[in-house]
Amino acid sequence: MSARATRHPAPILSARDIVNRFGRQEVHDRVSLDVIPGEIVGIVGGSGSGKSVLLKTMTGLHRPDSGEVLIDGKPIGSIGAAEKASLIGVLFQQGALFSSLSVAQNVMLPMREHTDLPAKEQESIAAMKLELAGLTGDSAIKVPSQLSGGMVKRAALARALALDPKILFLDEPTSDLDPLTAGGIDSLIAKLNESLGLTVVIVTHDLTTLFTICRRVAVLVDGKITVDTVDRLMRSDQPWIHAFLHGPRARGALSARRQKHGNG
């Protein structure tokens, strides 16, 4: 009975023994990562460590040389496009909004592709998702070139939320943003996680994001992965992890974390 009481919930995402090679370079050497429903997991690593490749592998956009990815217990390659769209939402690094479409039309794209919802209902849902992402109603009729960097990220996030996915995959959601705008994106991610129970996987190099909203962090170094809480990783003697989490930039992020969690 006690064993059952302490049993962890089944992973919503499992990447098992992932190997990715590009020519002679082996980027991932039997990398495994389980993500539990409702948690926020960060993925970090140095340049060329394969962070974005791992994200593409987990979302089915890249087929690994070996290993498998399971979403809700199903191999991702066996999941049809419509079902996959209802399970996962993806925010790409630069937003990847279509420049010729309005913001609302960008958000409606997944609905047009994967549902038979009437146009009016699509418009209504798009407006709700934009509001959820922190954008005002007048943003809907703008085109991406009329948006600031932070607004582009929020619009792309609204599109990722269009079909109420269970997991959000975010590729560098705060890159190229000033600290105040980046902090707003972090707060939004945390709010979505808490209010909607969304599971979130974030590829990032933003230490503030890692220290303030990620429950666990997966570190890619030399083709291997180390997964733990930030507190435990800070005690690691692995050279890259130690340098990353104890450098000058880390001190500022750690200070922000202490201010946010000052009560415990």
> From the CB of residue 239, how many other CB atoms can be counted at a distance below 10 Å?
9
Query: 91-101: per-residue pLDDT in tens?
Result: 987 768 888 99
Q: Are 216 and 241 in contact (CB under 8 A)?
A: no
Query: 125-175: per-residue pLDDT in tens?
Result: 999 999 999 888 788 899 999 988 889 999 999 999 999 999 999 999 988
Q: Rounded CA gap, 79 and 99, in Å?
A: 29
Residue range 23-44: average pLDDT? 94
Look at residues 164, 174, 156, 175 and name the one whose alpha carbon lies nearest to residue 199. Answer: 164
Can you give the pLDDT at residue 3? 46
Tokens (6 digits) for 241: 């992890």
Please check the confidence at residue 113 and state whether its pLDDT lies above 60. Answer: yes
Query: 73-95: per-residue pLDDT in tens?
Result: 999 989 998 899 889 999 987 76
Q: Are 211 and 183 in contact (CB under 8 A)?
A: no
Radius of gyration of the chain (CA): 19
Look at residues 33, 34, 28 and name the one whose alpha carbon lies nearest to residue 66. Answer: 28
Q: Rounded CA gap, 171 and 185, in Å?
A: 13
pTM for the predicted model, two decimal places: 0.88
Alpha carbon separation from 208 to 1, 149, 200, 219, 234 (Å, rounded): 40, 18, 16, 16, 14
Tokens (6 digits) for 82: 């419509």
Q: Rounded CA gap, 116 and 216, in Å?
A: 38
Burial 175-188 (b: 16+ CB within 10 A, else e): eebeeebbbbbbeb
Residue 248: pLDDT band by 50, 70, 90 thresholds?
Answer: low
Burial (CB count within 10 angstroms: exposed 0-12, middle 13-18, buried 19+), residue 3 = exposed
